[in-house]
Chains A and B, each alone.
Chain A
Amino acid sequence: MAEILSDSPLLETPLAPLHRELGGKMVPFAGYSMPVQYPAGILAEHLATRQGATLFDVSHMGQVELRGEGAAEALERLTPADVKILKPGRQKYGLLTTEAGGVLDDFMVANLGDRLFLVLNASRKDVDCAAIEAALPAGVTLHRMPDRALLAFQGPAAVPSLATLAPAVAALPFMGVAAAEIAGIPVLVSRSGYTGEDGVEISVAADRAEDLARTLLALPGASIAGLGARDSLRLEAGLCLYGNDIDETTSPVEAGLTWTVGKRRRTEWNFPGAERIREELDNGPKRLRVGILPEGRQPARAHTAIAVGGETVGEVTSGTFGPSLNGPCAMGYVAREHAADGTALELMVRGKAIPARVAATPFIPHRYAR
């Protein structure tokens, strides 16, 4: 996990007292003190997510609204995503791009009817907001929402158990968004997540966040999970982590995220970095992000060199032991000629070459609601 270290004191989320009460092991992450795990441990928290329902505090992430006529058009100045096509009550994943064709951030955007709601990475929210504000026309305004918390409730039991308190949630399709009330607490719920499982992400007023968290944890089969499990879950699900797998040096095409470039946008080419992205779509990128399965049980971590026939062809960007896979898994970039599924690779772990192969992601099939 990318850690942003600085001398400034760590920020806390509204759930900090609850994390301490539950025995959360707090670590610095993107300027916040966040729970990496609880006494159950990463392995148990990971498996509990795949089997039941777990609650993650992701309040460090940035929540912002874009308000005003033309908000979608304004956001399209910064992203190759088709934002205008997004219907009210729908959310999509997208990338903010740089003029050089790199990835400024990855984000979620929801159409709330009269405004857009965005969720940004904690480590990038300041950079993103500055870029967005610089591109806004008169009449469209950006509103940061530091008084909101964000909870993820993930796993096959999450929505069925939450529906006992808020029946409307069960009717939300994957990537659907709606205002709701959970045990009398007003919330904004989206059917989405970062684990590969069905589940929801819930935006709530900071001063109601602990009430909501305790309500969710009291549901049958629910337990708490930390950022460690969140990382192993997303990696098994083949999902990118900004700062590891994508950053300002990686293009959307190299990252295998061309599906986030809207069809209409590929006729307009009017987004930052369009020149590089178009060139790579036409001729293929020099390197590609791939899934990697090492042989044996030893994980290959981020920055492990990838070789073919003794020659370095790339680098691992994320790697861990996948608890559901019961084995190591990784992702990284390799030169395009070595990117086909099944290609034999060597991972240079502590001076030893570990055999591995390129493998399709997700490593664990997604089980999103339809």
Chain B
Amino acid sequence: MADLKFSKDHEWVRLEGNVATVGITDHAQTALGDVVFVDLPEAGREVAAGEAIAVVESVKAASDVYAPVAGTIVESNGALADDPSLVNGAAQSDGWFFRIELSNPDELDGLMDAAAYQAFVDSQS
């Protein structure tokens, strides 16, 4: 997990080359509860940092998922359509949401490391 970065919107980001894989954090999936539906962005869509581009629905509520960095969507996780519960069972691995080709890699500097994110979560509870 050391290579993951985290946003204040409770997303995680893993960078490989110029492509960032994005999902919601384990903390976020616990707060949401049982995930029953995920709406994901189409490949090729250009997104701005902070733009709401995906929706995750649990039995009790719907939440937006934001693009933590700007860029172009290269892939979404089709496995979530068949099995949304992957978000609960493997939030920070197989339950990833989408991959973004970064237009501005410097934006990653604004994200937190694991320790800083944990401190952020603790400060909110």
A→B interface (CB under 8 Å): 36-37, 41-44, 46, 228, 231-232, 296-299, 301, 320-321, 323, 328, 350
Asked if B37 contacts A297 (CB within 8 A), the reply is: yes
**Additional A-B contacts beyond A42-B58, A301-B61 (11; CB < 8 A):** A36-B60, A42-B34, A43-B33, A43-B36, A43-B59, A297-B37, A299-B37, A299-B57, A301-B62, A321-B57, A350-B55
Asked if B37 contacts A42 (CB within 8 A), the reply is: no
Tell me, yes or no, whether B113 is within 8 Å of chain A by CB: no
Interface residues on B, range: 10 to 19
Asked if A228 contacts B59 (CB within 8 A), the reply is: yes
Candidates B39, B60, B84; contact of A42 at CB < 8 Å: B60
B51 to chain A, nearest CB (A): 13
Candidates A42, A296, A298; contact of B59 at CB < 8 Å: A42
| Docked pose: A172 CA to B29 CA in angstroms | 43
Chain A proximity mask over B29-54: 1 for CB below 8 Å, otherwise 0: 00001101101000000000000000
Neighbouring A residues of B62 by C-beta, 8 Å: 299, 301
B→A interface (CB under 8 Å): 33-34, 36-37, 39, 55, 57-62, 84
Candidates B34, B39, B55; contact of A43 at CB < 8 Å: B34
Neighbouring A residues of B58 by C-beta, 8 Å: 42, 321
Describe A's contact surface by its main secondary structure.
Answer: mixed
| Docked pose: A328 CA to B36 CA in angstroms | 9
What are 29 sample pairs from A and B whose C-beta atoms fall under 8 A apart? A36-B60, A37-B33, A37-B60, A41-B33, A41-B34, A43-B33, A43-B34, A43-B36, A43-B59, A228-B33, A228-B59, A296-B37, A297-B36, A297-B37, A297-B84, A298-B37, A298-B39, A298-B55, A299-B57, A299-B62, A301-B61, A301-B62, A320-B59, A320-B60, A321-B36, A321-B58, A321-B59, A323-B59, A350-B39
| Docked pose: A299 CA to B36 CA in angstroms | 9
B17 to chain A, nearest CB (A): 32
B60 to chain A, nearest CB (A): 5
Most A CB contacts (10 A, CB to CB) among B33, B36, B57 go to B36
A325 to chain B, nearest CB (A): 11
Residues A232 and B55 in contact in the complex (CB < 8 Å), given A41-B33, A42-B34: no
Instruction: Considering the complex, give the chain A residue whose CB is closest to the CB of B39.
Output: A298
Instruction: Considering the complex, give the chain B residue whose CB is closest to the CB of A46.
Output: B59
Instruction: Considering the complex, give the chain A residue whose CB is closest to the CB of B31.
Output: A25
Asked if A228 contacts B60 (CB within 8 A), the reply is: yes
| Docked pose: A320 CA to B36 CA in angstroms | 10
A43 to chain B, nearest CB (A): 4
A96 to chain B, nearest CB (A): 29
Most A CB contacts (10 A, CB to CB) among B39, B60, B62 go to B60
Most A CB contacts (10 A, CB to CB) among B34, B39, B84 go to B34
| Docked pose: A296 CA to B39 CA in angstroms | 11
Instruction: Considering the complex, give the chain B residue whose CB is closest to the CB of A326.
Output: B36
Asked if B55 contacts A321 (CB within 8 A), the reply is: no
Asked if A298 contacts B57 (CB within 8 A), the reply is: yes
Neighbouring A residues of B55 by C-beta, 8 Å: 298, 350
Instruction: Considering the complex, give the chain A residue whose CB is closest to the CB of B62.
Output: A301
| Docked pose: A297 CA to B61 CA in angstroms | 14
| Docked pose: A296 CA to B37 CA in angstroms | 9
Pick the 3 closest A-B CB pairs, nearest first.
A43-B34, A321-B36, A42-B59
Neighbouring A residues of B60 by C-beta, 8 Å: 36-37, 42, 228, 231, 320
B23 to chain A, nearest CB (A): 19
Neighbouring B residues of A46 by C-beta, 8 Å: 59
A237 to chain B, nearest CB (A): 15
Neighbouring B residues of A298 by C-beta, 8 Å: 37, 39, 55, 57
Instruction: Considering the complex, give the chain B residue whose CB is closest to the CB of A327.
Output: B36
| Docked pose: A44 CA to B88 CA in angstroms | 13
A292 to chain B, nearest CB (A): 16
Asked if A321 contacts B33 (CB within 8 A), the reply is: no
B35 to chain A, nearest CB (A): 10
Neighbouring A residues of B37 by C-beta, 8 Å: 296-299, 321, 328
| Docked pose: A46 CA to B60 CA in angstroms | 12
